[in-house]
Amino acid sequence: MDGAFPGLGTVVNVVAVLVGAALGMVAGHRLPSRVRDVVTDCLGLVTLLVAGLSALDVTSPALEEAVGSGVPVLIVLGSLLLGGIVGTLLRLEERLESLAGLVQRWVARTGDGREHGHAERERFIEGWLTASLLFCVGPLTILGSLSDGLGRGIDQLVLKSALDFFASVAFASTFGVGVLLSAVSVAVVQGGLTFLGVTLGAVVPDAHVAALTAVGGLLLVGIAFRLLQIRQIPVADLLPALLVAPVLVSLVSALG
């Protein structure tokens, strides 16, 4: 499916998240908490599946050809280590939580007491961060947005929109309005990637995209762990790894 204009895929995705989140907020209170917990667990397991499939791009022939056999794993490791150190020093997780708190206070309409307000704030932050990271970190986000910008069609983003629709329904039934606001994150991230695709044309090497996808897959593992309440990995602190990965591929390729 060819987009009528660059960015159409992101528009479709944003609408899907908004509609899904709205439906989840309307119907969410009618679902028992144990049902919402099961839905969140299912999303965590599916996220883990998608993460595994994405991480397999570390075996991409294009990536191995660019950096050599056995090196892609080191590229991913180096990206996560360097990106994690930078993100931790910049306190990205903390800053994103603070931003979410500011947005939550702006949209909040409750004033039933400090404890209730705090619970609502934590619920909003968790919903916004989790949904934003899930919707914005992954192979379909990167590949779909770049393909849209390169004029190769929006098929991948249409598929992602369908997945995000059902995910936003489930998330909003648990986390509420924070999931609705994650549509802004989708618009900014995918819009930026689409613009990058338009700007760079067809010069984005497959090896760089594979490295990005593999690192993104591991970040999705962190999101899955959060959803499954295994461990609260500060995924936001690891986001710079997505920028470090293509840089390392370029450096290793040049040295080779």
Percent of the chain past pLDDT 70, that is, above it, reads: 88
pLDDT of residue 115: 42
Q: pLDDT for 156-172, tens place per residue?
A: 898 889 888 988 888 88
Reference 160, options 46, 12, 28, 36; nearest CA is 12
How far does the chain reach from its first CA to its final CA, in angstroms?
Answer: 39
Using alpha carbons only, give the angle 146, 235, 33 rounded to the nearest 5 degrees: 105
- State mean pLDDT over 25-37: 77
pLDDT of residue 111: 45
Report which DSSP code applies to 209.
Answer: H
pLDDT of residue 103: 63
Distance, CA of 7 to CA of 150 (rounded, Å): 10
Give helix 114-136 / helix 206-227 axis angle, nearest 10°: 150
Q: How confident is the model at residue 255 (pLDDT cuts 50, 70, 90)?
A: confident
pLDDT of residue 249: 95
DSSP annotation string for 31-68: S-HHHHHHHHHHHHHHHHHHHHHHHGGGG-HHHHHHH-
- State mean pLDDT over 64-73: 92
Q: How confident is the model at residue 202 (pLDDT cuts 50, 70, 90)?
A: low
pLDDT of residue 2: 54
Q: pLDDT for 102-135, tens place per residue?
A: 666 665 554 444 444 667 777 787 788 888 887 8
Please state the domain extents for the chain: 8-255
- State mean pLDDT over 183-203: 86
The larger pLDDT score, comparing residue 249 to residue 49, is at 249
Reference 235, options 123, 100, 92, 121; nearest CA is 92
pLDDT of residue 44: 83
160, 108 contact by CB (below 8 A): no
